[in-house]
Amino acid sequence: MEYFEIMMGEALEETAYRDILVVAWLEKGEPVPATLEALGKARELADSLGAYVKAVTFAAGEEEARKLTGYGADYVYILQGPALSQYDLEIYAKALGEFIQEHKPEIVLFPAIAPARELAPYLAQKLGAGLIANCTEISLDEATRTVIGAHPMYGGEYFRLLANPGLKPQIVTLLPGYFRPAYYDAYRTGEVQTISVEPVPSRVKTKGPVDFTVPKGLDKAKVVVSVGRGVKGQEEMELVKKLAQALNAELAGSRGAVDEGLIGPDRQVGMSGHQIEPKLYVACGISGAIQHYYGIRNARCIVAINPDPTAPIFKVADLGLVGEVKDIIPAVLKELGTR
Ligand SMILES: Cc1cc2nc3c(=O)[nH]c(=O)nc-3n(C[C@H](O)[C@H](O)[C@H](O)COP(=O)(O)OP(=O)(O)OC[C@H]3O[C@@H](n4cnc5c(N)ncnc54)[C@H](O)[C@@H]3O)c2cc1C
């Protein structure tokens, strides 16, 4: 009889969900730091609930995976098979989904790192499970055994508390850097088991990683001229480019400009783009949404060109030029003597 069952004084039904599962990521034979944070949190939850910590990992060697027991896992499962040697959403989701359906963990913790960020919601949808994504803190309502997750909004200005009472398993992804990592205890032991996964064909062809580094020049630029949806067509875009040239500036843009095809996604600034710190940032036709401002919050001086005096960009601008791009930029170029 398992510890939890003894604590409850009765055997749980075979169908009951129990235990905390960590989907563990290893790199070069070591658990990545975000995995250690998830294991640390899992141990805390397991001790509160009287449950076990289980860790599941993909295509790892047994000795590497065994390290997870030293970090607090009571059971470690290695999903093994030729198809798992490289990450593939459908194949990983199928293997992990079947594992979860068989082992029925009550709570599943994912480190919110690149593959897990798409795997967790995909799996939650397939399993009809609850999902709380990108948590910076989690707590437990012990009476109902419900996880409550704090999820940051508006670049961390606000938090939403989310829970999925009644849904099993409760899947939670943890943002790296917010949780105390599990410590290593060489004397801790646990069971390690390898599970063979049948090969399945994938419909997805992986073309390789996308380079998301800040384009050379933009990351260190002292002056950035940025284009938004308010810039209409190529003629006005040429004006923005002329301004950038006159100021010896790098070009960037808002999500709106990327959507309009005015600038490439590699130059998007903001919460889901790049965060830059120029001395001068000139926003042309940008409304100043919070997600955009997040990427320029460390700019020394913000100049905004916009005909709408109520646009949020003017709340953060050091200098506001109320007017249209087609009128303001030629006037500025004239002042600069470059028209
Ligand atoms: C999770 C999430 C992440 C996001 N991440 C980002 C991000 O990283 N970066 C980002 O930019 N956005 C991001 N967004 C989108 C963001 O909320 C805004 O929708 C976006 O920034 C709007 O872009 P914009 O200012 O170019 O367009 P709009 O909001 O449409 O603003 C256009 C502006 O142009 C002005 N205008 C109109 N005509 C003219 C003219 N002739 N001359 C000058 N100005 C004119 C208008 O008055 C208006 O203020 C994100 C949103 C979400 C939900």
Say what the pLDDT of residue 102 is.
Answer: 96
What's the confidence (pLDDT) of residue 210? 66
Residues 54 and 154 in one domain: yes
**Per-residue model confidence (pLDDT) at position 7:** 46
% of the chain surpassing 90 pLDDT:
80
pLDDT single digits (tens) 197-228:
987 787 777 777 766 677 878 989 999 999 99
Residue 13 maps to a domain: yes
Residue nearest (by alpha carbon) to ligand 1 atom 7: 270
Q: Which residues contact 112 (CB under 8 A, 6 or more apart)?
A: 34, 120, 133, 134, 135, 173, 174, 175, 176
Residue nearest atom 43 in ligand 1 by C-alpha distance: 285
In a domain, 304, yes or no: yes
- Contact 111/34 with Cβ under 8 angstroms? yes
Ligand 1 close to Cβ of residue 291 (< 6 A):
yes
Show the low-confidence residues of the chain (pLDDT under 70): 1-15, 210-212, 338-339
| 59, 70, 138, 127: CA torsion to nearest 10 | 30
User: Which pLDDT score is estimated for 8?
Assistant: 47
Is 289's C-beta closer than 6 angstroms to any atom of ligand 1? Answer: yes
Residue 139 located in a structural domain: yes
Residue 184, number of CB atoms within 10 A of its CB: 12
Give the strands of the sheet with 280-284, arranged side by side: 250-253, 223-227, 280-284, 301-306, 319-322
Q: So what's the ipTM on this one?
A: 0.99
Mapping DSSP onto H, E and C, the string for 243-299 reads HHHHCCCEEEECHHHHHCCCCCHHHEECCCCECCCCCEEEEECCCCCHHHHCCCCCC
Kindly give the distance from the C-alpha atom of residue 172 to the centroid of ligand 1, in angstroms, as a whole number: 31
Clarify whether residues 96 and 149 are in a common domain: yes
Predicted pLDDT at 207: 75
Tokens, residue 104 = 């029925």
- Ligand 1 pocket residue status of 267, Cβ below 6 Å: no
Does residue 203 sit within a domain? no
| Domains: count for the chain | 2
**Do residues 156 and 244 share a domain?**
no
> Best of 235, 281, 291 to mutate for ligand 1, by most ligand atoms within 8 A of CB?
291
Segment 231-271, tens digit of pLDDT = 999 999 999 999 999 999 999 999 999 999 999 999 999 99
Q: Whose CA is nearest to atom 31 of ligand 1?
A: 287
Same domain assignment for residues 27 and 131: yes
141 and 228 inside one domain = no
**pLDDT at residue 9, rounded to an integer:** 42
Provide the pLDDT for residue 4.
46
Determine the distance separating the centroid of ligand 1 and the alpha carbon of 317, expressed in angstroms. 15
What CATH number is associated with residue 264? 3.40.50.1220
8 Å CB contact between 199 and 83? yes
d(CA 92, CA 297): 38
Q: Are residues 167 and 50 in the same domain?
A: yes
Same domain, 72 and 135: yes
Peptide bond preceding 169 in cis form (omega within 30 of 0): yes
Mutate to test the pocket of ligand 1, among 151, 263, 306 (most ligand atoms within 8 A of CB): 306
In a domain, 157, yes or no: yes
> Which of 160, 229, 258, 293 for a ligand 1 pocket mutation test, highest count of atoms within 8 Å of Cβ?
229
Q: Which structural domain range is residue 315 located in?
A: 223-334
For atom 48 of ligand 1, the residue with the nearest CA is: 287
Are residues 323 and 179 part of one domain?
A: no
Boundary of a domain, candidates 134, 161, 196:
196
Q: Which CATH number covers residue 34? A: 3.40.50.620
| Ligand 1 site, residue 278, Cβ cutoff 6 A | no
* 285 CB within 6 A, ligand 1: yes
Residue owning the nearest CA to atom 53 of ligand 1: 291
